[in-house]
A and B are shown apart, each in its own frame.
Chain A
């Protein structure tokens, strides 16, 4: 139980700074004020400053205006309404990553742009499933970046998972094939395949991931069963382009959102949920092995606007 309170409070802590800013702003706007045009405009700007994007911010404030325009509104009431609206958008995408028990292994391919936090997230993800009693195998598919392989190997040692690796510069697709064979032989529950970071506008690099997928399908026509896109929460509106292209090229099945322990966070997720509806499986709130949390819509939305979940 103390463990559980531990992570909840850590999540809240992680989101606190964002919440603080939005919530301070909201308080400032609505103390002794009517919800008029100017107040709405300021509210809209606060949402924009949290990376919600121009369009989503406009929609949210208009919704608020429809029911409460020109009323004397209490701060708490505005927060609650805003949290509810945001939670309504986020609720459908809050889905944990569930392994298909029929698959030995369930293959999860992890993709994303450079520096988004793929390898660290894989370490945390593996820890989470291992703690749940699952047998996890990792594949060090970042054969491009200097020491990308070693980074995952160290994670493997830390959490006690076998890591299938080849030297830097090796063919990632071939490695993925070997890893799937090995994970199969070991009757693993989950195989997580790391990939090199790649910018979504690099067609050649996107083709490389497609090759990994094609090769995996030779062993298992349904693989990968999950294709997880790792998104850095610090990213602004380019997150849209990332999701759009990776989804089209690699059939992304879900998102993992990292670095939510900084400042302005979460905003772009709301817009992404609205536009793509891709499940958000988990969020990263720190560098430790336990800093991966399930994504929950209401607490997230409440934390975002500064309400206690």
Chain B
């Protein structure tokens, strides 16, 4: 029931693919499934209806019926339409204005405004080489201003000194004045969380907007938001006028239908994604990536990017060189395991791969979890350097020593040895496929074979 939009649509299209041709009834069935899947993914009902109507119109057309692989055609139509609805192009943050350029952060309580403020501050300071000042206008939640101050210290982004008893509008004014005097390029104004139906507080944030005239007003919204996303986005947009949406907690397992809903009802582009608790976990929104993830093609592009960021280039080159020679020893496996952990462990990796949902349930059944990586690491660390380089010398008594040393059993050690053999074999295959081929087909075939 909860395998996600990816899995749902995957099932539907599997069925479509198995048939040679596509009838109106087939499309109808597919659209019913897509409707349910979108609703379960928290896409708002009116948005779902429009989406289905538009896709149905295209799908029942002749092009589909005459095409060789109707299933793929439908996938393409749905995907294209998803991308179009999400916004095919992501405009960057608008930084083309005289300094100090104000950015106003708004949203519901707990949507992640303060963390996102710090992430954006850090990004603009480190990537755009801007001098950034952050100020918290949240005088309501206990320690909210302190939270931003602490995040400022962590990120090295300046924050406005806290003056007790000052109201939001005054703080905003003081922030702009300070920025002007001290030569800041950008001022990020973090506001208190507020309900979109709280007239008093919505007026307050509108007053702040009138005073500072922000170049960017970013609506911060939780990716887990349900049907209410349309109301929230609509109200904030009408009252304050958003120029962009930041979707947070995209690293969770929510299906993120809220993205589709908010974009569709406001037309405001989603600009950034919050993808973790760390201050650098901010990514540029890319519609095609999200759409293909929704459609069960997996976030392969994202995986590649993330891999590039995290994987130590030198390490990778060393392994590549070994692969050239056809040798892949336990030192290599160890560095692989460690890089895997950096990428968010097995579960983090799996979330980005195609056909994941099936594997995930298989994993749950097989009781595979991220703890395995830690145990395998321990086993390798209990091997001598010689053993790591020449796994062939590991016989019974060495196995026993390794098991004791790593707090595991001989069976675990055997399993790892076998897995290493298997991986060495796969590594050779991967070499044959080449990098591009691997990302296109390789991973999927590797994971779905069993």
Contacts and interface: CB of A to CB of B under 8 A. Distances in A.
A and B together in one complex: yes
A200 B224 CA distance: 12
B197 A262 contact: yes
A120 B109 CA distance: 11
Nearest to A151: B143
A135 B402 CA distance: 53
A270 B449 CA distance: 40
A145 B279 CA distance: 11
A280 interface: no
B370 A199 contact: no
Interface stretch (B66-74, B125-133, B145-153, B297-305): B145-153
Interface string A234-253: 11111111001000000000
Given A201-B347, A262-B197, A113 B252 contact: yes
Given A154-B143, A236-B258, A261-B195, A49 B370 contact: no
A265 B226 CA distance: 9
Nearest to B45: A49
B154 interface: yes
Given A115-B222, A263-B228, A264-B226, A201 B277 contact: no
Contacts of A151: 141-144, 147
Interface string B165-196: 00000000000000000000000000000011
A204 B370 CA distance: 8
B263 interface: no
Interface in A181-209: 199-204
Contact of B150 (A147, A155, A263): A147
A199 B227 contact: no
A238 B195 contact: no
Contacts of B109: 115, 117, 259, 287
B445 to A, nearest CB: 25
Interface in A141-165: 144-148, 150-151, 153-155, 158
Q: How large is the interface on A (under 10, 10 to 19, 20 to 34, 35 or more residues)?
A: 35 or more
Contact of B42 (A117, A147, A238, A263): A238
Nearest to B111: A115
Interface in B31-68: 36, 39-42, 44-45
Most chain A Cβ neighbours within 10 Å, of B45, B142, B154, B347: B142
B154 A234 contact: no
Given A145-B147, A201-B347, A238 B112 contact: no
A147 B197 CA distance: 28
B255 interface: yes
Contacts of A234: 108, 222, 225-226, 228, 232
B97 interface: no
Contacts of B370: 203-204
Contacts of B148: 146
B341 to A, nearest CB: 9
Most chain B Cβ neighbours within 10 Å, of A117, A236, A264: A236
Interface stretch (A27-35, A51-59, A99-107): A51-59
A144 B279 CA distance: 13
B228 A199 contact: no
A259 B255 contact: no
A23 interface: no
Contact of A203 (B36, B108, B231, B347): B347
Contacts of A287: 109, 140-141
B252 A201 contact: yes
A268 B232 CA distance: 17
Contacts, number: 153
Nearest to A154: B142
Contacts of A239: 224, 226
B197 A17 contact: yes
Interface string B211-234: 000000000001011111101100
Contacts of A268: 226
A116 B110 contact: yes
B249 interface: yes
B2 A240 contact: yes
Contact of A150 (B146, B197, B257): B146
Given A50-B227, A203-B347, A262-B196, A147 B146 contact: yes
A150 B197 CA distance: 29
Contact of B45 (A45, A241, A265): A45
A113 B40 CA distance: 20
Interface string B359-383: 0000000000111000000000000
Contact of A262 (B154, B228, B249): B228
Given A54-B36, A234-B232, A241-B253, 20 more contacts: A113-B224, A113-B249, A117-B110, A146-B154, A147-B146, A151-B144, A153-B143, A168-B150, A201-B253, A202-B251, A203-B371, A234-B222, A234-B228, A235-B226, A236-B228, A240-B2, A259-B109, A259-B195, A262-B195, A262-B228
13 contacts: A51-B227, A113-B249, A115-B109, A120-B141, A146-B148, A158-B142, A199-B249, A232-B224, A236-B227, A236-B229, A236-B254, A236-B258, A287-B109
Which 4 A-B pairs have CB atoms at the shortest separation, nearest pair first?
A236-B226, A115-B110, A236-B42, A146-B150
Interface of B: 1-2, 36, 39-42, 44-45, 108-112, 140-144, 146-151, 154, 195-197, 222, 224-229, 231-232, 249, 251-255, 257-258, 277, 345, 347, 351, 369-371
Interface of A: 17, 45, 48-51, 53-55, 113-117, 120, 144-148, 150-151, 153-155, 158, 168, 199-204, 232, 234-241, 244, 259, 261-265, 267-268, 287
